[in-house]
Amino acid sequence: MVKNSLLFLFFFVFLFGSQDWVVKLDNHVWYESDFYRFFPESDWKKVSDNNKKTKIVTGFLKQNIAAQKALGLGLQHSQDVNLKLSARYKMLMVNEYYMRHFLSSLIPPSALYFCGQNLKKDVFAKHVLIKPLEGQTEDEASLLKKATTIKDSILSGGSFEFFATQYSQDPSAQKNSGSLGWISIGQTVTDFQDALFGLCLGCVDVVKTDFGFHVVQVDSIRESKYSLLSQEEYDDYVFRFASSYITASLKDVAAEHDSMLISTAGVVFDSLALIGVVDKIVAELKLKNGNRKDVDVIKILKEDLGVVVKYNSNFLSSGWFANKIENSLHRSVFYASFEEIKKDFETILLRDIAYKKGVELGLDSRFSFVSQFNPVRLGVLEKAYLSFLVSSVEKPTDKEIKDYFSLNEKGQDLNVAYKSIETILLQQKQEAAKNLFFSSIENRENIIINKEWFNE
Domain end point (choices 299, 327, 361): 361
Q: Would you say residue 144 lies in a domain? A: yes
What is the per-residue pLDDT across 43-88, written as a single tens digit (0 to 9) for each? 898 899 999 999 999 999 999 999 999 999 999 999 999 999 999 9
Q: Would you say residue 173 lies in a domain? A: yes
Domain range for 347 is 250-361
The per-residue pLDDT for 4 is 37
Q: Binning pLDDT at 50, 70 and 90, where does residue 19 land? A: low
Residue 32 to residue 44: CA distance in whole angstroms: 11
Q: Would you say residue 107 lies in a domain? A: no
Q: Which residues of 118-133 are buried (b: 16+ CB within 10 A; e: fewer)?
A: bbbbbbbbbbbbbbee
pLDDT of residue 193 exceeding 60:
yes
The per-residue pLDDT for 331 is 67
Weakest-pLDDT range from 224-228, 418-422, 428-432: 224-228
Same-domain check for residues 332 and 281? yes
Q: Binning pLDDT at 50, 70 and 90, where does residue 3 land? A: very low
pLDDT of residue 18 exceeding 70:
no
What is the per-residue pLDDT across 101-116, written as a single tens digit (0 to 9) for each? 999 999 999 999 999 9
Provide the angle, in degrees to the nearest 10, between the axes of the packed helices 109-118 and 231-242: 130
Q: Would you say residue 427 lies in a domain? A: no
What secondary structure letter does DSSP report for 391?
Answer: H
Write phi, then psi, for 295 (nearest 5 degrees): -95, 120
Same-domain check for residues 205 and 299? no
What is the per-residue pLDDT across 333-349, written as a single tens digit (0 to 9) for each? 999 999 999 999 999 99
Q: Within 10 Å of residue 217's Cβ, how many Cβ atoms?
A: 24
Q: Binning pLDDT at 50, 70 and 90, where does residue 330 land? A: low
Q: Would you say residue 17 lies in a domain? A: no
Q: Would you say residue 78 lies in a domain? A: no
Q: Would you say residue 436 lies in a domain? A: no
Same-domain check for residues 139 and 178? yes
Q: Within 10 Å of residue 410's Cβ, how many Cβ atoms?
A: 7
The per-residue pLDDT for 456 is 83
Mean pLDDT rounded to a whole number for the chain:
91
Same-domain check for residues 330 and 289? yes
Residue 117's identity, in one-letter code, is Q
- 8 A C-beta contact, residue 350 and residue 265: no
Same-domain check for residues 282 and 326? yes
Provide the angle, in degrees to the nearest 10, between the axes of the packed helices 367-391 and 231-242: 110
Provide the angle, in degrees to the nearest 10, between the axes of the packed helices 338-361 and 318-326: 70
Same-domain check for residues 191 and 256? no
Same-domain check for residues 215 and 274? no
H or E element in which residue 190 lies: helix 190-197
Same-domain check for residues 311 and 352? yes
- 8 A C-beta contact, residue 31 and residue 15: yes
Same-domain check for residues 210 and 279? no
pLDDT of residue 136 exceeding 90:
no
How many angstroms separate the Cα of 245 from the Cα of each of 33, 95, 314? 31, 20, 40
What is the per-residue pLDDT across 282-313, written as a single tens digit (0 to 9) for each? 999 999 998 999 999 999 999 877 899 999 99
H or E element in which residue 95 lies: helix 79-96
Pairing of strands 212-223, 268-269: unpaired
Q: Would you say residue 336 lies in a domain? A: yes
The per-residue pLDDT for 451 is 93
The per-residue pLDDT for 145 is 95
Question: Can you spell out the DSSP letters for 215-271?
Answer: EEEEEEEEE-GGGGS-HHHHHHHHHHHHGGG--S-HHHHHHHHHHHHHHHTT-EE-H
Same-domain check for residues 209 and 271? no
CATH classification at residue 146: 3.10.50.40
Domain end point (choices 188, 223, 258): 223
CA 272 from chain center: how many Å? Answer: 40
Residue 114's identity, in one-letter code, is F
Residue 119 to residue 236: CA distance in whole angstroms: 11
Same-domain check for residues 266 and 175? no
User: pTM value?
Assistant: 0.81
pLDDT of residue 315 exceeding 90:
yes
How many angstroms separate the Cα of 44 from the Cα of each of 161, 228, 300, 370? 37, 11, 52, 20
The per-residue pLDDT for 419 is 93
Residue 31: strand pairing partners: 21
Same-domain check for residues 135 and 191? yes
What is the per-residue pLDDT across 383-421, written as a single tens digit (0 to 9) for each? 999 999 999 999 999 999 999 998 887 667 888 899 999
pLDDT of residue 203 exceeding 60:
yes
Q: Within 10 Å of residue 374's Cβ, how many Cβ atoms?
A: 17
Residue 259 to residue 349: CA distance in whole angstroms: 12
What is the per-residue pLDDT across 267-290, written as a single tens digit (0 to 9) for each? 999 999 999 999 999 999 999 998
Domain end point (choices 361, 386, 417): 361
Number of structural domains in the chain: 2
Query: What is the sign of the dihedral through the CA atoms of 10, 324, 80 and 374?
Result: positive
What is the per-residue pLDDT across 147-166, written as a single tens digit (0 to 9) for each? 999 999 999 999 999 999 99
pLDDT of residue 6 exceeding 50:
no
- 8 A C-beta contact, residue 229 and residue 116: no
The per-residue pLDDT for 10 is 31
205 three-class SS? strand
Span 184-210, average pLDDT: 95
Question: Can you spell out the DSSP letters for 418-454?
Answer: HHHHHHHHHHHHHHHHHHHHHHHHHTTTTEEE-HHHH
